[in-house]
Amino acid sequence: MVSDVREKRSKVTFISFQTLRNDIATGMVKFLLPLYAELSKSKAVDYYIGDARSNSEKYKDIKTVSSCYFYISKIVDILASKPFFKRTLAKKRYYMEVLFDYICAKKLTDKTYLVASCYLPKTFAKNRQLGGKNIFIAGNPCEFAIRAELNNLETKFGINISDVYTDCTRLAFIRKSYAQVDELMLFTESQRRTYTSSYRDKEIFYRETFIKPNAKLFPETIVTKRKQFTFCYIAHSVWLKGLTVLLDAWKESRPAGAKLLIGGNIESGLKKSIEEKYRDIEGVEFLGRVEDLNLFFRESHVCVVPSLLDAGPATVAESLSCGTPVICSDGCGSSTLVTGPFGQVFKSGSDKALAKALNELSSNYGNYSFTSQDFAAVSARIDESEFHTAAATHILEGVK
């Protein structure tokens, strides 16, 4: 048997709320696996997640936090799909987060250098009492900045948005978790901006990175642009994605002869508001699910990403990798990719600024001409490995 020569003296523990099933990772587990692999080269690392089922040798040390949590989560998922239980289990995410935290806290018996991508007020507090250090790797911009954006939408549309970002009980749970964090690890500009303005007492590790587009989903191919000048938008649309800002801008100042394609599913409450307020809007086609995103981006002239606040989204890099320029809000972490011929960045939430950008790109489209190779040549920093290498080095320094 080959001996494990990795440093074990100072314990490191990773915790994530999401899953790894049949070697397919979800959420922050997917983002953190390379960091875990990098760190595991020189140090033994425990990694607990919501559901770990893998046949791969490289993931053999990643474990489900407990069989109890696993089975309860399966039961809750089944019940939540039933109409009778939907209202009762509307706070499912919060309940499962509390249970996950409780189980993690019970599992913790000694101090550790705890790196978590989920909210763990009890676990963080216990680790502090034991003499450990708590690191939170954010997947989104600060939750309270997100809540502020949704407050503005509620006022503007006279609505009540009920989701994980507006649940007051969950927000109190998150606030308790932040209070026990010693250091934040951030990787997009929108995270850095929102967290540094809210938590000036925390240590912050920041390295900008972006998730590379999947080359298999976006292969290089020759596609003719649509005859009609076309703007495209693609997302699983919730209020935070800024679709109403785009529709307001389009309604106010539609570029002459242009068309807007809206792809992806739309959350029911948002869909109802859109049907009421924008029923007469012209030049807009709602497509629903888009099967071929590569073709969708390449046939369009411009992709619009109007998110009010977003860690990414990946849509920005995906469109640019297809050679299609982007109009992006400054609330997007990926907005720093949009420079020169790659498009324009507008002030988040401003339909007037977006309308101006729509007309600029349609009127002066020749100024925004580039190929996917042009983007690849200047986007070497779209490399998660730099973040993971730097973060692993930082963690190793911290546990000495």
* Residue 260 near residue 287, CB atoms below 8 Å: no
Q: In the structure, how many helices (H) and strands (E) does the chain have?
A: 15, 16
Q: What local confidence, expressed as pLDDT, does residue 50 receive?
A: 92
Instruction: State phi, psi for 144 to the nearest 5 degrees.
Output: -80, -25
CA 164 from chain center: how many Å?
A: 14
Q: How confident is the model at residue 84 (pLDDT cuts 50, 70, 90)?
A: low
The Cα–Cα gap between 260 and 250 comes to 8
DSSP letter (8 states) at residue 291: S
pLDDT exceeds 70 at position 9: no
Q: What local confidence, expressed as pLDDT, does residue 363 receive?
A: 96
Looking at 33-47, 76-90, 127-141, which range is the least confident one? 76-90
Q: Where are the alpha helices (DSSP H) in 215-292?
A: 243-253, 268-277
E strand spans, the chain: 7-15, 19-21, 24-25, 43-49, 51-53, 62-64, 113-116, 133-137, 183-186, 203-206, 230-234, 259-263, 284-288, 302-305, 326-329, 343-346
Tell me the average pLDDT of the chain: 90
Give tens-digit pLDDT for 240-274: 999 999 999 999 999 999 999 999 999 988 999 99
Q: What local confidence, expressed as pLDDT, does residue 57 receive?
A: 80
Q: What is the pTM of this model?
A: 0.88
Instruction: Give CA separation, 296 vs 115, 224, 228, in Å.
Output: 38, 11, 14
Looking at 1-5, 14-18, 86-90, 335-339, which range is the least confident one? 1-5
Q: Which residue matches tokens 């399966």?
A: 74
Mean pLDDT of 77-96: 74
The region that residue 181 occupies, defined by phi over 0 for left and psi between -120 and 50 for alpha, beta otherwise, is beta
Q: Which residue matches tokens 């998922």?
A: 77
Percent share of the chain, pLDDT over 90: 68
Give tens-digit pLDDT for 159-215: 888 888 888 999 999 999 999 999 999 999 999 999 998 888 889 999 998 877 888
Q: Where are the alpha helices (DSSP H) in 236-383?
A: 243-253, 268-277, 293-299, 314-321, 351-363, 372-378
Half-sphere exposure of 83 (CA within 13 A, CB side): 0
Q: Which fold has domain 230-378?
A: Rossmann fold (3.40.50)
Q: Which fold has domain 7-209+383-398?
A: Rossmann fold (3.40.50)
Delimit the CATH 3.40.50.2000 region(s) of the chain.
7-209+383-398, 230-378
